[in-house]
Amino acid sequence: MIENILQGLMYPFLFLSMYFQVLLLTSFFENKRKIKREEKHEIQNYPTVAVAVPCWNEEKTLGSTLDSLLALDYPKDKLSIIVVDDGSKDRTFAIAEVYAHNYPNQIKVFAKENGGKHTAVNLALENSTSDLFGCLDADSFVNKNSLKVIVSYFEADKNTMAVTPCIHIRNPHTLIQRLQAIEYLMGVFLRKAFGQLDAIQVTPGPFSIFKKEVFDKLGGYRKAHNTEDFEITLRMHKAHLKIVNSHKALVYTVGPATARGFFFQRLRWARGFLENSLDYKELFFKKEYGNFGMVTLPLAFLFMFYGLYAAIFSVYTLFSQLSTYISRWLTVGFHFRMPVFDIFYFNTTMMSFVVMVMLSMFLLVLYIGNTLSDDKQQFYRNFPIFFILYPIFVPLFLGRAIFDTFTKRKNVWVLQDTKHSL
């Protein structure tokens, strides 16, 4: 009886998930020619661009981050870099000063008391007069042509107010980082498909570029439950400002190397999504906000709860099967034999069919993501790790995020909006 009830509750989740995947795939294939044309636009006029680099104890990666910005294929007199040290305790500020001394026409450095990433980016905003403004986390690195590619989107469509990049994990070594490589690969497709629906859900910290007038109109970044990049996206959708994605603007970020770091980062993201969504609940199911308000935001919010339920259901099913096998072994004994595949015994239930279809579409999504950008990931090597480990983490960080959100538990575990603090 309990199993039938649990299984019955799974059907809406599975069909909604399948509907969502079909929607995104349909959106992508309908706009495939348009996506191809995006890659060919040549810039006629180069706007001025300011890139903020907020730092907190980033001595290990700041130099490489600044080197990648200095190597951008973009007119040097049109690009300025604003480094803001947010109260670091290591050599971050000293490293930034050396770069400012060596490149005085391009790099400015500011130091302030620790106040969080949003305050550091806002200080950079106050000291910028450029046409375009963006942020690059101090543990991220841009490809040489990424800025040119992003700027071409602003020139191609004057209504475009922000452009998000294509993000990959940099040199994944540990199992946790290789897991993230697949997760980010999925994000390559999702951001592109969401862009075609005018429903991009987040302008990520690594190298999202905005027209400066966005901040003149909406104001600067807010703390926003430690996920300021999601909040500014919600604010832009509320103001009907267009956000697009550039799948060829490659950016690399350093993913957490440990299970603990990965868990707390995803916990921060999940809780930030829930709390910001509740702050902007007036966007839900409103036609004036298009696909974002009517479909993608409400479904993403719902999937947080259904995702947790699906994980619990999977664990219950697993232990139920194990219990059955153990009871059988205790009754008739254990007899080892090689497994034999017989199509006659293939599970043909509706649930199994839907799961197979969804898995096939998921693999298609990963394949498309791998072909969209110019960086080809080690898909076949990393996917088994993702398939095995990711379902273990999902119920943990989703369950904790939901509990913390609705009990209004204080974020005592958040030190800073950076990976390295965790």
The pLDDT tens digits of the residues spanning 76-124 come to 999 999 999 999 999 999 999 999 999 999 999 999 999 999 999 999 9
Going by pLDDT thresholds of 50, 70 and 90, the confidence category of residue 412 is low
- Whether 173 maps to a domain, the answer reads yes
User: How many other β-carbons are positioned within 10 Å of the β-carbon of residue 281?
Assistant: 12
Do 56 and 86 touch, CB atoms closer than 8 A? yes
pTM above 0.85, yes or no: yes
- Whether 131 maps to a domain, the answer reads no
Region of poorest pLDDT, from 38-42, 146-150, 166-170, 303-307: 38-42
> How many domains does the chain fold into?
1
- Whether 335 maps to a domain, the answer reads no
- Whether 245 maps to a domain, the answer reads yes
The residues, ordered by sequence, that sit 6+ positions from 136 with a Cβ below 8 Å of its Cβ are 51, 52, 53, 65, 69, 142, 205, 206, 207, 251
DSSP sequence for 263-312: HHHHHHHHHHHHHHHHHTGGGTT-GGGHHIIIIIHHHHHHHHHHHHHHHH
The better pLDDT of the pair 113, 413 is held by 113
What pLDDT, in 10s, does the model give residues 333-363?
666 665 555 555 555 566 677 778 888 888 8
- Whether 45 maps to a domain, the answer reads no
For position 264, what pLDDT does the model report?
Answer: 94
Residue 66 has pLDDT above 50, yes or no: yes
For position 421, what pLDDT does the model report?
Answer: 35
| Kind of pairing between the strands at 140-142 and 160-169 | unpaired
DSSP sequence for 106-122: TEEEEEE----HHHHHH
Element (H, E) at 393: helix 379-406
Distance CA(395)–CA(266), nearest Å, equals 11
For position 377, what pLDDT does the model report?
Answer: 73
- Whether 73 maps to a domain, the answer reads no
- Whether 94 maps to a domain, the answer reads no
Domain that holds residue 187: 1-39+145-324+346-422
Q: What value does the mean pLDDT take over residues 391-419?
A: 78
- Whether 88 maps to a domain, the answer reads no
